A and B are shown apart, each in its own frame.
Chain A
């Protein structure tokens, strides 16, 4: 019992923090998206790609009228970070097969269009996938100059 709790705690801690530490990309991707306008919706995975420089997820979102919109999304964690937090390629690909129902939180592009920064993915059981987590919508105050 204790052993399983420790295991759960370790994984949960890693996943929680991975979201925080995974928020910058090698090409400065953050500025392309508006995190103050992030939204959450149910979606269906059409494709998931476990690749450098960033994992990509493609998905369909259906609105109340039944209109389907296709989205492309990049994830903040790169494969190195996914590996570090236990999301191996096999595990990630199994969790996000085409047809999987998910709930996604997306920061839309400042320029408009249907390519977003995927901040969070939940499966139909409400479980967090890939460890991606929302970050503060607004930039925090800068620390004092040294």
Chain B
């Protein structure tokens, strides 16, 4: 299906363009502006060129936050993608059971992010929370406010609990879109369940899994509210991820210049990763069509 070539199509796009540009370009300009200047007070600013960028890029605490962030996002993707696909495979596919399952599965996605943090604060407290009490009951002294490992584990539980449903929903939809004939042919060919998954279901889910991967990467890399509410970045700064660090710098230290430079760098890192993921997945698809 070749598309029609017509530049007048721009008219259809203008509302979106204006809306997003209005929201995006002005802040972007502001951020670029701030990142290149030192602001002492209203009306007192000095152009400092790339000084803030140098400062930001050599900030060891930023490096630490970046590594923590990469580790976190990496773990998130490693756990949530396979788990989400698995759940989508084993859940009821049709009928009322499917509808109810979908609603229940989607519930965690609809909770405001700071409420998620709150839920898990309560849930993990040994005195009033089931999880905390249960762990304590097993003989492990549970206190995520003092133990970095426990803080990380709690965060991972919270994150996986919160966001795997997104992968499940997307994977489920992808599976439902596969025509029945493929499964019929596989049966006739004597294919095992694993072979059916590997040669039919997985390839045909490439589209939705790309969306899932990109969304999960972006959102986990940008994560702020949930970990902030649960651990505040601590104990110490063992769970201070990039966003939390950024806000600390911007708000806590009131240093807009470095914060702006940091934001741009942050944005570019995400852009780079997303672009890479996108290209890889597109090429896998093209390879199939070569």
Q: Do A and B come from one complex?
A: no
Binding site for B on A (CB under 8 A): none
Binding site for A on B (CB under 8 A): none
